[in-house]
Amino acid sequence: MNPDVWLFHLLNNFVGTVPLIDWLTRAIVNDYAVPTAMSLAAVALWFAGATPEERTNNQRAVVFIALALLFCNALIKDLSTVYFRPRPFATETVKLLFYRPSVSSFPSIPIEVAFCFAAGAWYASPRLGTWLGVLGALYALARVYAGVHFPSDVIAGALIGVGMVYVVVRLDFIFVPLADLTIGVARRLQFA
């Protein structure tokens, strides 16, 4: 058996055995809880900072998150026109705890988003980035446990999210001036 499918079944077969875990998984796996928490963390990061330099660095991190999300979603949109992977519930016997999404399972878009937030936040605040990374990992595990992704889908989504933030940060000669321009406009409009 394919190791990806084997690991999926290993996790998904526990559905229904511990009601508390199923309840927590339903709370985490939905399309709103984790992305909303991460968005609120980015808003808090935008306004955080004891010094002007720290605040500017935090705001750059938020702009980097937005840019990485933009580039990741463009990449995944292009990838989905070339490759479509059916969801686990379409090809396997699954104990489903979630609705049946119709988009490609590979790579996981929600996990890509979560890890863009975590890696971008880590750029400014390693502590916040670590917390968001743990939340992203729980989100990934919940999506496999709930029957909507294979393990390789969430791993690929995490790698794409972190990788795109890394690319944006490494291309700082392009993106720092763009971030500073965005921050300057936001400050003139009283948004920063």
Spatial neighbors of 48 by CB under 8 A, at least 6 apart, are 54, 55, 58, 125
Q: Which amino acid is at 85?
A: R
Q: Quick one: what percent of the chain has pLDDT higher than 70?
A: 99
pLDDT at 183 over 90: yes
**Mean of the per-residue pLDDT values of the chain:** 94
pLDDT digits (tens, 9 = 90+) for 60-119: 999 999 999 999 999 999 988 899 999 999 999 999 888 888 889 999 999 999 999 999
pLDDT of residue 13: 93
> What are the chain's domains?
3-188 (1.20.144.10)
Question: What is the Cα Rg of the chain in Å?
Answer: 18
Confidence category of residue 1, pLDDT binned at 50, 70, 90: low
